[in-house]
Amino acid sequence: MYMRRYQMKLVLLAALVLFTGTAATSAPDPGSIQLQRAKQGVVALQQWYDPAQGTYRTTGWWNSANALTALVDYARISKSTEFNFLIANTFVAAQNQNAGFLNNYYDDEGWWALAWIDAYDLTANKQYLAMAESIFADMTTGWSDTCGGGIWWSKERTYKNAIANELFFSVAAHLANRDTVHRGSYLDWANRDWKWFAASGMINQEKLVNDGLGPAYGPANAATCQNNGRTVWTYNQGVLLGGLAELSRLNSDAALLLTAHKIAAMAMAHLDGIDGVLHDPCEPKCGADGEQFKGIFVRNLVALDRASPRPEYKSFLETNANGIWDRDRGRGNQLGQVWSGPFDNANAATQSSALDALVGAATLESAGQ
């Protein structure tokens, strides 16, 4: 009974936060132009938030973790506390769909672990960090010796791919930097997975990351533990950047950041168009998953810049943020999938992905680089 009342209270508070957040946009924002744009993008994103479910309508389970991350990152750069109740609501309500934020896919779990680490960094709420640690504990059960190590993509244990292992690596490195009591264990997992990943062949000769090993969805064995040559997605480049940046805070190994810079440079060179704006190969019809990818790349590029700044990253973020705002924006500041435009339609995935770019540009702008 107490939990039911608590959930109802959080739903009402989240709705109040949403209302007041929307009303507040009528006043001029004294922040940077990118931050002003991000604020308007956040208001548009919140039209899809479902307080009863704790997730975002029009998109999937793992996408909602990324939408929450975009919201948290905006709250951090804007120094706002107005969404803290919404974050708390998601923590409770979303578990009605998947208790403990666990499901059949280790990559889905990794997104939620990173989201709660981000929420912990913003609020210092230890429940969020504990949840991330609980999720990571489940992810460790996906480790196997097939292909020499690494975790499986799903609990069906049929495919070892880049994204699941990048997330496993990144979550471990993030936890090692935040839980001093268990730092050694998390650092061991981060180093172990990175050592395996770097030798797995998924980073190709062009220093870009392909989708995985062997035939996707087929049985994995020693004969198929080779780079499968599948699509170079933006998010596979991005998550690795964030993980390497995080690990570099603990490991005094210059090769970590050097590798990250090489991957970032190649991704920016190969995945942008003639307009300098980031594109995924699936555009303009990327589907529910692909619509989220680019924001993940730029969010992690910002993390790399915070660890090891380079002026080209700020320029790249500005170009993409301006492209979104000038050419990929519809009514009510809805943001679409193709950042170079024209605007077609929007949903919570395209909105939060584009919002990552706006927040990222504002972050680097505020850093005065």
The Cα–Cα gap between 8 and 274 comes to: 50
DSSP notation for 284-342: T--HHHHTTHHHHHHHHHHHHHHHS--HHHHHHHHHHHHHHHHHSB-GGG-B-S-TTS-
Dihedral, 52, 99, 140, 174 alpha carbons, nearest 10? 40
Distance CA 306, CA 125 (A): 23
pLDDT tens track for 192-227: 999 999 999 999 999 999 999 986 555 555 457 999
Write the CATH number for 142.
1.50.10.20
- Rounded average pLDDT over 235-264: 97
User: Residue 3: pLDDT band by 50, 70, 90 thresholds?
Assistant: very low
Amino acid code (one letter) for 238: G
Q: Hunting for tokens 């380079």 — which residue is that?
A: 310
When divided into structural domains, the chain yields a total of: 1
User: What is the percent of the chain where pLDDT is above 90?
Assistant: 85
3-state class (DSSP) for residue 279: coil
Residue 14: predicted pLDDT: 43
pLDDT at 272 over 90: no
Does residue 315 have a pLDDT over 60? yes
| Domain around 105 | 2-366
Q: What is the pLDDT of residues 135-153, one digit of tens each?
A: 999 999 999 999 999 999 9
pTM of the model: 0.91
Pull the structure tokens for residue 86.
């919404």
**Residue 28 pLDDT level (bands cut at 50, 70, 90):** very low
